[in-house]
Amino acid sequence: MSRMTTAGTTARKNKISPRSEAEPRINAAEHPYGSLEHILLVLSRLDSVYGHESTPSDAFATGEPLDGLMLTLLSQNTNDRNRDVAYGALRKKFPTWSDVARASKDEITLAIKYAGLGDIKAERMKAILAIIANDFGGYTLTRMREWDSDRVRAYLSNLRGIGPKTVACVMAFDLGLPAFPVDTHVARISRRLGWAGEKSTPEKIQIFLEKTVPPERCGGGHLNMIEHGRRICHARAPECSACVVADVCRERSKSEDDL
Ligand code: SF4
């Protein structure tokens, strides 16, 4: 799950060059893996390639936080392409959230079939829309823009089927609040870089990153890590020889020690 759009992933195709051997390696004794300095160094290197921090795009924001919440709910357990197809089909058939709320569960399930788990997601959508209409007097979450982070997080976390990653996506991309969503790519890279133990859960990693990464670097840093996971640090066979953070990666240093 991510907020990256299928268009967004192809919009930035900077050339990736591995780090020069002449550049200094991080002093692991002074800046251990997972220290603030280490994390900031990695984020800056990734940004030099992918640029989501330095040249942010609003392509990932929806404008209406409720749109973002529903989009992210649809993205659970599927890829961005299927999510986008399902979201487009849903909005075409039911242009407003009020239309979705009035539709039957089966109608919604059919409209979002490309996202998978259609019946579960349709049920959750209807339940969430009913709660929001009751709490906000309509199908909008724009009033949340006046809330602080703790209040937003507590409210969204209480909605059934909305986990920490979805909450963080809505906070970061639709409300401009500091949050660092941890999906499978961010979790994998965090473990490999030495920011988290090999068995750390995404939820634990998210708590750690949100406590550690400066607020203004969270959203772009998250997108840069996702792009790195998709393009270089694959789940299987990461392309370490083409990686800009190879010289400061714990996983890479372990494999070099094995040589
Ligand atoms: S060096 Fe390899 S394992 Fe480490 S972050 Fe880069 S691609 Fe991933």
For 53-71, what is the mean pLDDT? 82
The predicted structure's pLDDT at residue 255: 73
Instruction: Count Cβ atoms below 10 Å from residue 6 Cβ, excluding itself.
Output: 14
Token output for 236: 């299987």
Q: Are 83 and 75 in contact (CB under 8 A)?
A: yes
Mutate to test the pocket of ligand 1, among 33, 49, 192 (most ligand atoms within 8 A of CB): 192
For 121-137, what is the mean pLDDT? 97
| C-alpha of residue 205 to centroid of ligand 1, in Å | 17
Percent of the chain with pLDDT over 90: 75
Between 25-34, 149-158, 247-256, the lowest mean confidence (pLDDT) is in: 25-34
Q: Are 185 and 233 in contact (CB under 8 A)?
A: yes
More confident residue, 55 or 248: 248
For 171-182, what is the mean pLDDT? 94
| C-alpha of residue 171 to centroid of ligand 1, in Å | 28
The CA distance from 180 to 3, in Å, is: 12
Domain spans, the chain: 30-56+180-257, 59-174
Q: Are 43 and 221 in contact (CB under 8 A)?
A: yes
**C-alpha dist (Å) from residue 73 to 121, 195, 228, 233:** 7, 27, 23, 26
Pocket of ligand 1 (CB under 6 A): 189, 192-193, 232-233, 238-240, 243, 245-246, 249, 251-252
Q: Is the pLDDT of residue 8 over 60?
A: no
Task: Give the CATH architecture of domain 59-174.
Answer: Orthogonal Bundle (1.10)
Determine the atom of ligand 1 nearest the C-alpha atom of 243: 6
CATH of domain 30-56+180-257: 1.10.1670.10
| C-alpha of residue 167 to centroid of ligand 1, in Å | 28
Between 16-25, 161-170, 199-208, the lowest mean confidence (pLDDT) is in: 16-25
The predicted structure's pLDDT at residue 30: 61
The predicted structure's pLDDT at residue 40: 96
Q: Are 213 and 34 in contact (CB under 8 A)?
A: no
| C-alpha of residue 232 to centroid of ligand 1, in Å | 7
Q: Whose CA is nearest to atom 2 of ligand 1?
A: 240
Dihedral pair phi/psi, residue 191, rounded to 5° = -65, -45
Q: Are 27 and 189 in contact (CB under 8 A)?
A: no
For 135-143, what is the mean pLDDT? 96
For 15-19, what is the mean pLDDT? 50
Q: Could you tell me the pLDDT band of residue 27, with boundaries at 50, 70 and 90?
A: low
Mutate to test the pocket of ligand 1, among 193, 244, 254 (most ligand atoms within 8 A of CB): 193
| C-alpha of residue 42 to centroid of ligand 1, in Å | 11
15 catalytic residue (yes or no): no
Q: Could you tell me the pLDDT band of residue 206, with boundaries at 50, 70 and 90?
A: very high
Which one from 92, 121, 165, 199 is the annotated catalytic residue?
A: 165
For 238-257, what is the mean pLDDT? 90
| pLDDT tens by residue, 74-120 | 998 888 899 999 999 999 999 999 999 999 999 999 999 989 888 99
Token output for 213: 């990464």
The CA distance from 126 to 80, in Å, is: 22
Determine the atom of ligand 1 nearest the C-alpha atom of 238: 7
The per-residue pLDDT of the chain, averaged, comes to: 88
Q: Could you tell me the pLDDT band of residue 145, with boundaries at 50, 70 and 90?
A: very high
The predicted structure's pLDDT at residue 239: 97
The three state secondary structure string of 207-224 is HHHHHHCCHHHHHHHHHH
Q: Whose CA is nearest to atom 4 of ligand 1?
A: 249
